[in-house]
Amino acid sequence: MFHKEGHKIIFVTLVIIVAAFLLVDSFISLQWLRTLILILLLGFFILILQFFRNPKRITALSDKHVVSPVDGKVVVIEEVFEKEYFKEKRLQVSVFMSPINVHVTRYPIGGQILFSKYHKGKYLVAWHPKASEENERTTVVIENQTYGKVLYRQIAGALAKRIVNYAKQNHKAVQGADSGFIKFGSRVDLFLPLNTKIKVKLNQKVRGGESIIAEVNE
């Protein structure tokens, strides 16, 4: 299954690949060169298909847990001052996505969407310290009565050229449901209450909608 955000790109890429196949077959006589080009074109198409895949995930719904919003690797776990919405200290957990990861964004908790905002910005590499504040990004805040307020931020990277965000203020979010997509990009930051119990470690690989990032510290 492929994400709807990729349908147009997949179709256009397929048309270009087919046209390229025909041109190569008609105008390149060297067998080894023709084969090499065809393999490269096919490899590129497979890469596009892999990037826009949207595997089904089964989320164990719980208001006590924060699940990973994306597939990738945990690259930041630290206490920071969140400037945009909370204007206070929070625990930040960041997940970096490589080009071969699934790039669907999912709601980390269920509840009421309190805030949703898009910011234009730069395209610094995703691991740059200022990427969270200077890159193109969206900020979403969700609240439920058990866990409280959780902010997640989609951040574009050096290759990302479009962030898609489905979260709308005052709507309900379903934990693990599709909340957006980052085309050819790159990182999601979570900002959690200071008393939360982190369940992941640095460099740990996580799966969107399934891996538990944190839980209520009872």
- The tens place of each residue's pLDDT in the chain, 218 residues long, gives 776 876 888 899 899 989 988 888 888 888 888 889 889 988 888 888 877 788 889 999 999 999 999 999 999 999 999 999 999 999 999 999 887 888 899 999 999 999 999 988 766 665 555 656 667 889 999 999 999 999 999 988 665 557 889 999 999 999 999 999 887 667 899 999 999 999 999 999 999 999 999 999 87
Report the b/e string of 171-187 with b at 16+ CB within 10 A. eebebbebbbbbbbbbb
Q: In this structure, what DSSP letter does residue 155 have?
A: E
Using a cut of 0.85, tell me whether the model's pTM lies above it.
no
Q: Is 186 a catalytic residue?
A: yes
SS3 content of the chain, % helix, strand, coil (to 5): 20, 35, 40
CA–CA gap between residue 182 and residue 108 (Å, rounded): 16
What length is written for the chain? 218
How many Cα atoms sit within 13 Å of 89 on the Cβ side?
6
- Within 52-201, where are the H helices? 131-134
Q: Which of 113, 96, 83, 95 is nearest to 179 (CA)?
A: 113
Vertex 40, ends 34 and 45: CA angle to 5°? 125
SS (H, E, C) 49-79: HHHCECCCCCCCCCCCEEECCCCEEEEEEEE
The active-site residue out of 68, 116, 179, 186 is 186
Sequence-separated (6 or more) residues with CB below 8 Å from residue 88? 81, 82
